[in-house]
A and B are shown apart, each in its own frame.
Chain A
Amino acid sequence: MTAMARHVLPGFRLSTGYTMLVLSSCVLLPLAALLWTACELGPAGWWAQIGTRRVLASLKLSFGAALLAATIDAVLGLLVAWVLVRYRFAFRRLCDALVDLPFALPTAVAGISLTALYAPNGWLGSRLAPLGIEVAYTRLGVLLAMIFVGLPFVVRTLQPVLESMESDLEEAAYTLGASPGQRFFRVLLPLLLPTLLTGYALALARAIGEYGSVIFISGNRLFRTEITPYLIVQKIDSQYDYRGAAALGAVMLAASLLLLVAMAWLQRWTRRWAVVR
């Protein structure tokens, strides 16, 4: 505390206190309440809630699809950010603005439009159906909705980093004899990786928590396309089972936390060269 007492910037105590208050009341308190409610069940009751085939299938879908969606977002987002930063073309600004749309759009609207588009009688769905590809009311639809909502996170985190990246490094690699592929994979990608992981983690978090846009396109078919947040809502809506809902919530919380910690650790590892000793 003696070191803190000598801060150059004034208001350390006040601002820290305020931060802690906001953080506790908005984040920690609700989470504690969630865990508390879940704990009221006891281990056996908890397992009775979680261990069912329906819940396990939903968890598998929620996390599996979210991981896959975030991975696809990372690749697509890198491409989009690259094109928007590196090239000048007609309607670039419009395209740039469009990236934010999944942010701004109410998720239900996104869900409905995706469903309308990909439903078997929809504009795209009717064309895909003859090829044997069903999107709406399948797991593919869940994945698609998750990709849709997560994309802006990757693009928006990468953009400023790409913009500030000096062309010096690429030119240096070029004059040293590196091919375009070598310049990308040996120079650019390792430098972008920490930021890409940040975007990945954000897209992943969003995909795991996504509700509105997914439930429309998924059709919520038992054992097949039910996501965990949907089950939580179901428990409360139809059975007023707050404890059961909290138990599911606690599992999601723990898994999400674990994933985010893993991402943070991975990100630090990819930035190990930036340490100044």
Chain B
Amino acid sequence: MGIEIYRLRRQYGAFVALDDVSLTIGDGEFVAVLGPSGSGKTSLLRILAGLDQPDAGSVYRDGQDLLALDARRRGVGLVFQHYALFPHMTVAQNVAFGLRVRPWRLRPKAAVIKAGVEHLLRQVELEGFADRYPSQLSGGQRQRVALARALAIEPRLLLLDEPFGALDAQVRVNLRRWLREFHRSLGITTLFVTHDQDEALEMADRVVVMNRGRIEQIGTPEQIYRQPATPFASRFIARGQSLPGEVRGQHLHVFGHAWRMENFVADDAHEITVHVRPEDIALAPVQSDGVKAQLLNLRHVAGTVRASLRVENREEPLEAEWNERDWARHAATAGDTVDIHLLALTVFATDEEGRIQARSTVHPPHASFPVAVGPWRRVEA
């Protein structure tokens, strides 16, 4: 059963933080809510934790109305971005807090609490740190204490609010893997809020993409990458860049080329958006049927080459990404004009209010391109 979130709405004055948000989280699932700041993801988390109440909507856990329960009794473990450890308590006291504040009838015996704390500290790999104060720990250690403290109350739902936001890059990557493994071993239903795409895609079973209080798409990382539901999801997850293009009849026209599209009906569409991902811009062999582009600059980033391309009809340079091996086959340097092939284009047709009417992915055929591209394996959205 898990958690059923149904049509949540939360408004602060004129600002709509959550607009008709519905989501079902399976038992033991690890779900990431991904969105830019102000997208409503933290509001959702606070409502689930009981720190805020929605204006409308409901949340059920295994058929039980979660919103009717006070935050104290929800059995929800919350881990804050800035740890929120109690600075005047030792690590052990912090972890034991949730058990010690229980009414005496429900409070475990001191020896039981002590054993539980030791067990948790072993789990988060902080055995020797029980008597330290938070000020004596590193950021990564503090975050693990915060996690142990949240787990001490044996929550049925674990909420993580940008848990790695305040950590440096190396610690973040390590902790990410560790947390993923840790979740597998515990199996607690976990909702995880982040604005970092890598984090969400790497860790979560399913990703919820949010923007301006609405859910844009829910799906596995692969589904969202392959078949972004909205221009926002495409831009935010797959780094989609819009191209000047239009649909006439059954054909998509981009950069003077026309490609036939199947099953795309958008005769009364308000707006057509065409997106291309950086990795779907391929360098074509010279003198081919490609699009002319000028290489503005090149950055070599650990195995990939990132380039900015000046293309006609587009103000901003187009970002492309190749791996070093492919790049090495071409003798181009910055400033050269090269031919590019667009390997995959995603086309969205939207109405006046930004609702999606039709969506299609086009794989333009290239006669001179040596490597066959597509048809792609179909992923059910």
Contacts and interface: CB of A to CB of B under 8 A. Distances in A.
A176 B135 contact: no
Interface of B: 49-51, 71-74, 76-78, 80, 82, 84-90, 97-98, 101-102, 133, 135-136, 149-150, 152-153
Given A191-B87, A275-B133, A175 B76 contact: yes
Contacts of A174: 50-51, 71-72
B153 A187 contact: no
B153 A176 contact: yes
Q: Which 10 pairs between the two chains have the least Cβ-Cβ distance?
A: A168-B84, A176-B98, A172-B84, A178-B101, A273-B133, A175-B78, A273-B88, A190-B88, A182-B101, A177-B72
Contacts of A182: 101
B101 to A, nearest CB: 4
Contacts, number: 75
Nearest to B102: A177
Given A166-B82, A277-B136, A176 B87 contact: no
B97 A176 contact: yes
Given A166-B82, A168-B82, A179 B136 contact: no
Nearest to A181: B101
B157 to A, nearest CB: 11
Contacts of B82: 166, 168
Categorize the interface residue count of chain A: 20 to 34
A179 B106 CA distance: 14
Given A172-B84, A178-B97, A186-B101, A273 B89 contact: yes
B135 A273 contact: yes
Interface in A145-195: 166, 168-169, 171-179, 182, 186-187, 190-191
Interface of A: 166, 168-169, 171-179, 182, 186-187, 190-191, 273-277
Nearest to A183: B101
Contacts of A277: 136
Nearest to B106: A177
B80 A276 contact: no
Contacts of A168: 80, 82, 84
26 contacts: A168-B82, A171-B51, A171-B80, A171-B84, A172-B80, A172-B84, A173-B97, A174-B72, A175-B51, A175-B71, A175-B78, A175-B150, A176-B98, A176-B152, A176-B153, A177-B73, A177-B101, A178-B97, A178-B101, A179-B72, A182-B101, A186-B97, A186-B101, A273-B89, A273-B90, A275-B135
Nearest to A172: B84
B86 A187 contact: yes
Contacts of B49: 171, 175
A169 B84 CA distance: 5
Contacts of A171: 49, 51, 78, 80, 84
Contact of A175 (B50, B88, B102, B133): B50
